[in-house]
């Protein structure tokens, strides 16, 4: 008779089918544990791929010889590790061959383009002409750098690349400045909008144009009173070198400098950027007074040579005056509007040319000629009044000192003539 132990063992024993099923379950559980362990080891041994962050830099190019290169240039560099070489985003492209370019330029409606090109290709031109190139790498947060790179790539597409150009407020440098300021959440504007060195659009333009006298002369005559207000550093950053200087002073909210490093990519082989370009008032006044005394004291028998000189003077006053008047009335060149040099470079001077021709022919000018001479002198004298304006001054005292005495001298020679005039 079986014992109690034997009965218990017999009761707890499994039949073959149950044993086979249990074995299969245990095998599957072991396989699952092994699979999870392998996955864990794989994930632990495989590093997470880091997010690709581009590096952002600013190129600053030195001045060149062509008149539109006198102010220098700049561009934004995006160094994307996934690309073969860095990309230069250059806002300074225009096409003089495109239909309507010249009329748009004359009307003040010129358009420039943003072009993305390999950095080495962009540098080739500056290397050939000997213009220096300086690179500033910026310390941007990953999100800021990524967003700026994406925005530049989008804006460089043909449907977005064009923009309305303005010499001072929407040029190649202000576009770089504005793009950086947007990426930095307005930080650049915050740290530059209240500072001023006292420079103006006129003083900066004359300084950079000073190596080319004809360009200096054109700027000084053409720029109106809106260009004589003191600029903030933000406004002064329409110039590449000024922007590069200000980038060095910018501090991020945690105190870090914005510029992390600087590299000279190409040396400046052309003339460096000039540092001066102002005027000396007394020299202009001396030239005006001496010239007027000579004109007023020329002997009457030399009236014909004097008439030829007067005709040339009136032509040189009247033609620029016509250009200034048309620019104010018919174009979008806001920098030229309301120019008080119109009081000195008066288009009415062109109406004096028939009187000069009469004197050259040995005839007496008419009474209307004399009245017109007086009108030109009085209008030129009115140019002195705005010099005391505080809101919209125009720094043209040197032109008044030179031209007003000459207008007065020519009028003195013919208005005081006591002989009867021929109608």
DSSP string across 224-240: -GGGGSPPBHHHHTTSH
Report the alpha-carbon distance of residue 188 to residue 184 in Å, rounded: 7
Q: What is the mean pLDDT of residues 182-204?
A: 92
Taking 90 as the threshold, does the pLDDT of residue 142 lie above it? yes
Taking 80 as the threshold, does the pLDDT of residue 110 lie above it? yes
Please list, in sequence order, all residues whose beta carbon lies within 8 angstroms of the beta carbon of residue 61, skipping any fewer than 6 positions away.
72, 73, 74, 75, 126, 131, 132, 133, 134, 240
pLDDT tens for each residue of 265-287: 999 999 999 987 678 899 999 99
CA 27 to chain centre: 76
Q: What are phi and psi of 75, to 5 degrees?
A: -160, 165
Report the alpha-carbon distance of residue 156 to residue 353 in Å, rounded: 53
Boundaries of every domain in the chain:
55-266, 281-415
Q: What is the domain class of 55-266 according to CATH?
A: alpha beta
pLDDT for 263 equals 96
pLDDT for 27 equals 53
Please list, in sequence order, all residues whose beta carbon lies within 8 angstroms of the beta carbon of residue 331, skipping any fewer than 6 positions away.
106, 107, 108
Report the alpha-carbon distance of residue 178 to residue 175 in Å, rounded: 5
Question: Which pLDDT band, with edges at 50, 70 and 90, does 23 fall under?
Answer: low
Question: Which pLDDT band, with edges at 50, 70 and 90, does 46 fall under?
Answer: very low
Q: How buried is residue 206: exposed, middle or buried, by Cβ count under 10 Å (0-12/13-18/19+)? A: buried
Whole-prediction pTM value?
A: 0.83
Say which range, 135-149, 222-236, 364-378, has the weakest mean pLDDT.
Answer: 364-378
């Amino acid at each position: 008779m079986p014992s109690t132990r034997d009965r218990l063992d017999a009761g707890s024993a499994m039949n073959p089918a149950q044993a086979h099923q249990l074995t299969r379950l245990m095998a599957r559980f072991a396989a699952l544990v092994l699979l999870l362990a392998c996955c864990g080891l794989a994930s632990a041994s495989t590093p997470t791929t880091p997010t690709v962050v581009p590096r952002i830099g600013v190129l600053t190019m030195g001045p060149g010889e062509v008149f539109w290169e006198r102010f220098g240039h700049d561009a934004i560099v995006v160094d994307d590790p996934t690309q073969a070489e860095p990309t230069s985003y250059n806002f300074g492209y225009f096409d003089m061959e495109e239909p309507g370019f010249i009329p748009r330029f004359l009307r003040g409606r010129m358009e420039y383009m943003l072009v993305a090109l390999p950095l080495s290709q962009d540098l080739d031109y500056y290397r050939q002409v000997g213009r220096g190139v300086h690179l500033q790498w910026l310390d941007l947060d990953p999100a800021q750098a990524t967003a700026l790179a994406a925005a530049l790539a989008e804006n460089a597409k043909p449907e977005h690349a064009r923009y309305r150009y303005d010499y001072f407020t929407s040029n190649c440098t202000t576009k770089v400045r504005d793009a950086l300021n947007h990426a930095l959440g307005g930080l650049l504007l915050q740290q530059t909008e209240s500072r001023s060195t006292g420079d103006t659009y006129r003083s900066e333009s004359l300084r950079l144009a000073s190596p080319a006298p004809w360009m200096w002369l054109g700027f000084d005559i053409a720029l109106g009173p809106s260009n004589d207000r003191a600029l903030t550093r933000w406004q002064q950053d329409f110039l590449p070198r000024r922007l590069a200087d200000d980038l060095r002073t910018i501090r991020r909210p945690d105190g870090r400098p914005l510029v992390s490093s600087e590299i000279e990519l190409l040396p400046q082989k052309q003339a460096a950027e000039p540092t001066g370009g102002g005027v000396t008032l007394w020299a202009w006044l001396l030239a005006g007074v001496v010239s007027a005394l000579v004109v007023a004291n020329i002997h009457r028998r030399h009236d014909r040579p004097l008439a030829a000189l007067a005709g040339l003077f009136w032509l040189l006053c009247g033609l620029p005056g016509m250009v200034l008047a048309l620019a104010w009335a018919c174009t979008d060149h806001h920098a030229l509007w309301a120019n008080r040099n119109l009081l000195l470079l008066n288009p009415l001077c062109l109406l004096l040319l028939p009187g000069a021709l009469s004197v050259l022919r040995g005839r007496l000018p008419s009474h209307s000629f004399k009245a017109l001479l007086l009108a030109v002198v009085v209008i030129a004298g009115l140019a002195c009044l705005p010099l005391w304006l505080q809101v919209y001054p125009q720094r043209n005292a040197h032109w008044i000192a030179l031209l007003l005495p000459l207008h007065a001298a020519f009028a003195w020679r013919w208005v005081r003539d006591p002989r009867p005039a021929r109608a």
